[in-house]
Structure 1
Amino acid sequence: MPLIITIAVLSLLKYLEVGFLDALSWWWIIGLAGFAFIYFEFLERMLGLDKRKDHAHFEKMKKDRLKRSFDKSK
């Protein structure tokens, strides 16, 4: 998400020609957007980063449910 926000801010600042970004080529921003696309579509899946958060969340729910059920039975 920080990468997407960075691309959006850089694009806006480049469009408004603020500061040093007026001399920066659009290709740098397009390249960064291309890198973000490749990362989120391919690398994140290959590394399993897209499922890691889901699994951690479901494991926590499972542990909480087990703890509640054992606490009620005592």
Structure 2
Amino acid sequence: MFFLLTGLGLMLLKYFEIGFVAELSWWWVLSPFAMAVAWWAWADTTGYTKRKAMERMDQKKQHRIDRQREALGIKSKRRN
């Protein structure tokens, strides 16, 4: 997301000719978009995205279990 926002910011600065970005080549201005594509390709290829999604699901599941145990008056088992 960082690369995408940086690319959008640089593109707007270049288009409106603001600051030093107005003098840069379009290749430099648009390069954060290429880096974002490379990051997403790497994250999907290595399973990073899926692994992070699974971790979030596990945290939600454990929170839900802990909340239900507290409602029943059972001490919750904390896992990290």
What TM-score comes out, normalization by structure 1 length?
Answer: 0.77
Unpaired runs of 5+ in structure 2?
75-80
Unpaired runs of 5+ in structure 1?
none
- What is the DSSP-based 3-state SS (H/G/I as helix, E as strand, rest coil) of the residue aligned with 1:20? helix
Higher relative contact order (CA 8 A, sep 6+): 1
Deviations 1:2-52 (A, max 9, x none): 211110000000011111111100011223212211221x10112322123
Identity %: 32
Q: Residue 26 of structure 2 aligns to which amino acid in structure 1?
A: W
Q: Residue 57 of structure 1 aligns to which amino acid in structure 2?
A: R
Q: In the comparison of the two structures, how many residue pairs are matched?
A: 73
Is 62-71 or 27-36 further displaced after alignment? 62-71
Tell me the equivalent position of 1:51: 50
What TM-score comes out, normalization by structure 2 length?
Answer: 0.73
Aligned structure 1 segments of 4 or more residues deviating by more than 6 angstroms: none
RMSD of aligned residue pairs (Cα, Å)? 1.9
Tell me the equivalent position of 1:29: 29
